[in-house]
Amino acid sequence: MPQGPNAPYTQLSEEQIIQRAFEENSDRLRVDATVTASIGEVIINAEDSNIAIKDPNTGNTLKINADGSIDSNVIVDATQGDSVVVVGTEDGNISGTKHAMRVDQQGFQQTLQMNSLVPFRYDSIYPSYPNTSTEIYVYKQSTSTVATVTIVYTDATKNDIVSIVRT
């Protein structure tokens, strides 16, 4: 029997060795082994780990600013009528008290809800002081009064409040 180029280890040629070691259907090498991989402790921390959140469709990654905030890359063009409604709550729940703002066509911030004492839209506040221990604030939207808040103090020093009433 003639000896192949790989004698004395085998009588097969290089082509025959590749044919026997390669599985054409799966496009993989044939192996007779079981491999168990064991990974030790994995530690991820901000000082020396580099982890990215990436959109698989666009390849864009989330950018974190030096102060830790997320760079959302949002541009509001008030001249085009864009507006942004920012809603958040002190307790982090959507069902909590909401605070919102919008940018108008001139680029000014419009407050949609200032607080729970005066939860109405208003564009002006008119203060008055009927005596030394009382302040009255009239909230108006255009020319219509939407709320009146009266603050009564114990005396003219205004150190202690007796009451705050919205009507």
Residue 152 counted as domain residue = yes
Same domain, residue pair 108 and 53 = yes
Q: What is the tally of structural domains in the chain?
A: 3
The domain of 93 spans 49-113
Instruction: Bin 156: left if φ > 0, else alpha if -120 < ψ < 50, else beta.
Output: alpha
Same domain, residue pair 104 and 127 = no
Residue 164, CA distances (Å) to 14, 24, 98 in order: 95, 84, 22
Question: What is the Cα–Cα distance from 146 to 155, expressed in whole angstroms?
Answer: 28
Same domain, residue pair 127 and 154 = yes
- How many helices (DSSP H) and strands (DSSP E) are in the chain? 1, 10
Residue 6 counted as domain residue = yes
Question: What is the Cα–Cα distance from 78 to 109, expressed in whole angstroms?
Answer: 10
Q: What is the mean pLDDT of residues 60-85?
A: 69
Residue 41 counted as domain residue = no
CB 112 within 8 A of CB 127: no
Looking at residue 6, its pLDDT comes to 58
Looking at residue 17, its pLDDT comes to 78
Residue 43, CA distances (Å) to 38, 39, 40, 57, 62 in order: 15, 12, 10, 29, 21
96-114, pLDDT tens digit by residue? 555 555 566 666 666 555 5
Smallest Cα–Cα separation from 64: which of 73, 55, 76, 56? 73
DSSP state of 14: H
* Apex 74 CA angle, 62 and 101, nearest 5: 125
**Position 1: which residue type?**
M
18-70, pLDDT tens digit by residue? 888 888 888 888 887 777 878 788 777 777 777 778 888 888 888 887 877 77
Looking at residue 84, its pLDDT comes to 54
Q: Is the pTM for the entire model greater than 0.85? A: no
Last residue in a domain, options 93, 113, 133:
113
